[in-house]
Amino acid sequence: MTPEHIRNRESIPTEDLSVLDGRRVILYGAGKIGRRVHDALAWFGVPTALFWDLRAATVGADLAGTPVRTPDFASLPENERKTCAVIVTIFAENVAEQIRADLRRAGYDRVITERGFITRLLHAECASRRAEGRFEFNLETCHICPVISDTRNRCDIFDAHVQAHFVRGLDAGRPPELVVPSAGVLVSNKCTLTCVGCNHLRDHYKAADHMDIPAGQILADLRKFVSAVDMVNKLVLVGGESMLHPEIEAILEGVMALPRVGVVHVITNGTVIPKSERVFELLASPRVIVEISGYGDRIPDKFQRNVGKFLGKLRDKGIHHRYSQTLQWFDFGGFEDRGYDRAEMERVYDTCCFVSNDIFDGRMFKCSRSAYGTLIGKVPDYPGDYVDIRGLPVPELRRRVAEFLAMKAPNVCRHCNGASTQVIEAGQQVKFVRKAKSAAQVAEPQKAAA
């Protein structure tokens, strides 16, 4: 704890850190958010006493010297519990609220679950570093930062970097007004896998539902879309499995050439290694980050081997990437109308972390469930839920995009559990029974990614 760090506390609203002052800080969750909160607190001179994490055994005995333990609320004497502040770094709101209730029952009276507390703290750390000339932009860090992981939020520090270094074709002398924080590009709904509960609804398709959108069409839609807005901070290329698309090279080439677009984020299951070296050259741009969803031994061996090879290639080519070991998914449930009233629909939408502004076949939807559910007829066609990019003239498209971004609670949310407490194991295959494996074999792709 250095005096200069304590001075920096002035850059974070004092009521935020004063909630912690003098208390022993425990972070519930040692995942990517927990670790960043730990580091931000340290920057402001606040030490963390302990991490609690259900996966403590796999995380390790400590993180940066702070012990990691399985949550055991009774492990502290009762009189000490009131001297602690527990920050819950799990963002699924219902899960966090359940943890808070359990902690309160056990006598912990200062439990912080408010997402805003964490995002203000992390943003304040970056702002403080920047003020001291000690901020270094790192796409891999921003990529997992909760300040912008919700596509409805923006970060001035990220925006400024993207605008200054990544985007070309901005209108000179006019600051961008209509900025799309993030938009998805669903290039295909085909995939090498059929995961149970996939939010792209892969386990609901009939053979006739499969389609690759032609590269020319995807790029024409995107060119029109970006001509109607001032800037797109991040474009997310996704499938199904985007690397399966026969024209993936042309799509990437065209996307990288688009004006007014900042970061390009590719999400893949890593099971398909593109044959074209040009694809890897394009991915090696400093504007690109590749995210590999890790499904471990829940997918067949040959695919696990491909994931390892794909990661090896990304490393060799110096491509920004992140391997996310994905263990649990949300269970969005069936497609029946839940009969929510307006307030309940807004709550489901506001707490959902899957709003991705996905463009599919010429229309922009709030999420992939909306796009693909409409395609396969599981969700009624609600014209108010999407923007018709192909059908609207550009000035009208601009107005409609602005309205769409501000819209809360599309009708599709009536047909969804949202990001609720109901979870399922991630990446289980409809037709694959996994064999027993040693822990070392299962962890291999992730180790390779480290």
Ligand X SMILES: C[S@@+](CC[C@H](N)C(=O)[O-])C[C@H]1O[C@@H](n2cnc3c(N)ncnc32)[C@H](O)[C@@H]1O
**Binding-site ranges for ligand X (CB under 6 A):** 191, 197-200, 238-241, 267-269, 293, 326, 329-330, 332, 426
Nearer to ligand X, 129 or 152 (CB): 152
Cα torsion angle, 50, 55, 56, 62, sign: negative
Distance CA 74, CA 66 (A): 19
Q: How far apart are the first and last CA of the chain?
A: 29
In the bound complex, what is the minimum distance in angstroms from residue 209's beta carbon to ligand SF4?
Answer: 13
H/E run at residue 373: helix 368-375
Nearer to ligand SF4, 45 or 300 (CB): 300
In the bound complex, what is the minimum distance in angstroms from residue 15's beta carbon to ligand X?
Answer: 34
Task: Compute how many other C-beta atoms are within 10 angstroms of the C-beta atom of residue 379.
Answer: 24
Nearer to ligand SF4, 113 or 151 (CB): 151
Contacts of 101 (CB under 8 A, 6+ apart): none
In terms of Cβ atoms closer than 10 Å to its own Cβ (0-12, 13-18, 19+), residue 375 is buried
Q: Which of ligand X, ligand SF4, none is residue 366 near (CB under 5 to 8 Å by kind)?
A: ligand SF4
Nearer to ligand SF4, 110 or 190 (CB): 190
Nearer to ligand SF4, 167 or 426 (CB): 426
In the bound complex, what is the minimum distance in angstroms from residue 202's beta carbon to ligand SF4?
Answer: 4
CA dihedral 195, 201, 203, 204 (to 10 degrees): 180
Nearer to ligand X, 11 or 326 (CB): 326
Q: Which of ligand X, ligand SF4, none is residue 263 near (CB under 5 to 8 Å by kind)?
A: none
Q: Which of ligand X, ligand SF4, none is residue 303 near (CB under 5 to 8 Å by kind)?
A: none
In the bound complex, what is the minimum distance in angstroms from residue 330's beta carbon to ligand X?
Answer: 4
Task: Compute how many other C-beta atoms are within 10 angstroms of the C-beta atom of residue 120.
Answer: 17
In the bound complex, what is the minimum distance in angstroms from residue 357's beta carbon to ligand X?
Answer: 14
Q: Which of ligand X, ligand SF4, none is residue 326 near (CB under 5 to 8 Å by kind)?
A: ligand X
Distance CA 322, CA 169 (A): 29
Residues lying near ligand SF4 in the complex (CB under 6 A)? 191, 193-195, 198, 200, 202, 239-241, 269, 332, 348-349, 352, 354-355, 366-367, 369-370, 412-413, 416, 418
Distance CA 100, CA 4 (A): 34
Nearer to ligand X, 190 or 287 (CB): 190
Distance CA 22, CA 85 (A): 9
Q: Which of ligand SF4, ligand X, none is residue 267 near (CB under 5 to 8 Å by kind)?
A: ligand X
Nearer to ligand SF4, 254 or 333 (CB): 333
**Whose structure tokens read 């055994």?**
57
Q: Which of ligand X, ligand SF4, none is residue 247 near (CB under 5 to 8 Å by kind)?
A: none
Q: Which of ligand X, ligand SF4, none is residue 197 near (CB under 5 to 8 Å by kind)?
A: ligand X
In the bound complex, what is the minimum distance in angstroms from residue 290's beta carbon to ligand X?
Answer: 10
Nearer to ligand SF4, 103 or 307 (CB): 307
In the bound complex, what is the minimum distance in angstroms from residue 324's beta carbon to ligand X?
Answer: 7
In the bound complex, what is the minimum distance in angstroms from residue 445's beta carbon to ligand SF4?
Answer: 14
Left (φ > 0), alpha (ψ -120 to 50) or beta: where does 326 sit?
beta
In the bound complex, what is the minimum distance in angstroms from residue 268's beta carbon to ligand SF4?
Answer: 8
In the bound complex, what is the minimum distance in angstroms from residue 369's beta carbon to ligand SF4?
Answer: 5
Q: Which of ligand SF4, ligand X, none is residue 355 near (CB under 5 to 8 Å by kind)?
A: ligand SF4
Q: Which residues of 207-245 are buried (b: 16+ CB within 10 A; e: fewer)?
A: eeeeebbebeebbebbebbbebbbbbbbbbbbbbbbbbb
Q: Which of ligand X, ligand SF4, none is residue 386 near (CB under 5 to 8 Å by kind)?
A: none
Q: Which of ligand X, ligand SF4, none is residue 330 near (CB under 5 to 8 Å by kind)?
A: ligand X
Nearer to ligand X, 197 or 262 (CB): 197
In terms of Cβ atoms closer than 10 Å to its own Cβ (0-12, 13-18, 19+), residue 22 is exposed
Distance CA 25, CA 67 (A): 12
Query: What long-range pairs does 256-260 form, CB within 8 A, spacing at least 24?
Result: 256/282, 256/285, 256/287, 256/288, 258/222, 258/223, 258/226, 259/167, 259/168, 259/169, 259/170, 259/226, 260/167, 260/168, 260/169, 260/170, 260/176, 260/226, 260/229, 260/230, 260/231, 260/232
